[in-house]
Amino acid sequence: MLEVARKPNVKLLTYAEVEKVDGYLGNFKVTIRKKPRYVISEKCSGCGTCEEVCPVLRPKEFDENMGFRKAIHIPFPQAVPKIATIDMDHCIKCHLCEKVCESKAIDFNQKEERIEVNVGTIIIATGYSPYNPEGKYGYGKYENVITQIQLERLLAPNGPTGGHLVKISDLKKPESIVMIQCVGSRDLNSNQYCSDVCCMVAIKNAKLIKQEYPNTEVTICYMDIRCAGKAWEEYYTRARDYGIKFIRGNVGSVRENPETKKLIVRVEDTLNSEIRRIEADLVVLSVAMCPSKDTEKLVNILRLDRSPDGFYKESHSVLSPIDTKVPGIYVAGAAHGPKSVAEAVAQARGAASAAAIPMIKGRYTLELVSATIDRDRCNQCERCMEVCPIGAITIKNGAIEINEVLCKGCGSCASMCPSRAITVRFYRPKQFEAYIDALFMT
């Protein structure tokens, strides 16, 4: 991100969201709502003095709510740009930050802005949201049941504990840990798909724990280990040399001893055909990768589709995995589906290349398989507008118009038109009638 911010031809609009997208390939008009930080970006140096004096403490989102932040804060140490933001929902307006800021960067009168930009192509890279396992295996009920993402933050040097692994209940080092795989994945009641990276993330975190705390027992309960990436199988095999235990089977329940805060995990060991009872200080849930929370909103704005798993749908799963049904809009990374970092990077490069090609050429070749309208027959009932899946039909100056760049020639409008005013090029009814007559004549 730091390197991107330094590029002269890259303009970052942070703390902002897309509200509206009009137009087509080469001529997209995007309306962006820029939220107020209540801090003047050009003046803020990110020194952190304002954070030190702020009296308001709130759970820190970056640390999965295990740490605390101030009402005025920099979201995380590597944030780009490194500028403070005031959480006005919890600010008590004591103005202490304003008094200590030597740069005079605090501005409580800032308002949100609407920015309109014209762009040629669009790449969707909105990432994912972790599955919420509330109510599963005691998560949300027992303090020492956490997710892999929370474990990542505990192990991180800049995390809430400075990289030291502790139990949430008493901040003491755990002597035994059980990891439960496929929580929210491969489940007919939630998400049927595999989240791709959970097995390797669990093994990686287990190895980190064993490297720092060799005497800590780590057990991974799994349905089956999926290590399809390059050198992943070897990585999994070497993990056993660290003393990490693997149990194939479904976890039935997690119960807590209220006196000792120990967690009792009951798991069916399908290899040995027995029910095992494991006592653990910490239980870690490997949760599913789910579509980001604003996916539905962006799908409607961009006139796209979602695949059955809820992620953005590609034009073709094999031949066009980064294209969408709207020319000029591409998808990359976990917005398309669960992916490892390597896969996300590869797809992002592909999307960037695909987006650059029509912009470098300066022209775009269209197939003339698009709908046309006979305005003399059109009665402007607007049914075609209702059924068009990509919003290619609009009303301008009191007449129905079809955008030939957007139109994919699907024929939905023609099939719904009661006046038969719409036809699709190369697919006119008279042509098919001639074909049918010829078949019967032979």
Mean pLDDT for 54-81 is 93
Q: Note the pLDDT tens digit of each residue in 202-224.
A: 999 999 999 999 999 999 999 99
Confidence (pLDDT) at 228? 85
The 3-state DSSP class for residue 378 equals coil
Confidence (pLDDT) at 186? 93
Q: Where are the domains of the chain?
A: 12-32+115-127+292-364, 36-111, 129-290, 371-441
Place of tokens 């095992």: 276
Angle at 93 between CA 91 and CA 99, to 5 degrees: 115
| Tokens of residue 224, six digits | 């089956």
Confidence (pLDDT) at 149? 96
Residue 442 has pLDDT above 70, yes or no: no
Band of the pLDDT at 47, cuts 50, 70, 90? Answer: very high
Band of the pLDDT at 54, cuts 50, 70, 90? Answer: very high
Q: What CATH class has 12-32+115-127+292-364? A: alpha beta
For the segment(s) 371-441, the CATH number from 3.30.499.10, 3.30.70.20, 3.40.50.300, 3.40.50.720 is 3.30.70.20
Band of the pLDDT at 152, cuts 50, 70, 90? Answer: very high
Domains 12-32+115-127+292-364 and 36-111 share a fold: no
* Residue that wins the pLDDT comparison between 430 and 243: 243
Confidence (pLDDT) at 165? 94
Mean pLDDT for 107-126 is 95
Mean pLDDT for 39-54 is 94
HSE-up of 243 (CA within 13 Å, CB side)? 12
Q: Note the pLDDT tens digit of each residue in 307-318.
A: 999 999 998 888
Give the sheet arrangement for strand 113-119, strand by strand.
16-24, 27-34, 113-119
Residues whose CB is less than 8 angstroms from the CB of residue 429 and which lie 6 or more positions away in sequence, other chains included: 423
Residues whose CB is less than 8 angstroms from the CB of residue 118 and which lie 6 or more positions away in sequence, other chains included: 27, 28, 29, 30
Q: What CATH class has 129-290? A: alpha beta
Least confident of 45-49, 67-71, 226-230, 263-267: 226-230
Confidence (pLDDT) at 438? 86
Do the beta carbons of residue 199 and residue 226 sit within 8 Å?
A: yes
For the segment(s) 36-111, the CATH number from 1.10.10.60, 1.10.132.20, 1.10.1530.10, 3.30.70.20 is 3.30.70.20
Band of the pLDDT at 184, cuts 50, 70, 90? Answer: very high
Residue 383 has pLDDT above 70, yes or no: yes
Do the beta carbons of residue 46 and residue 82 sit within 8 Å?
A: yes
Confidence (pLDDT) at 441? 79
Residue 353 has pLDDT above 80, yes or no: yes
Q: What is the pTM of this model?
A: 0.86
Confidence (pLDDT) at 376? 87
Confidence (pLDDT) at 328? 92
Band of the pLDDT at 134, cuts 50, 70, 90? Answer: very high
Return mean pLDDT, the chain. Answer: 92
Residue 420 has pLDDT above 70, yes or no: yes
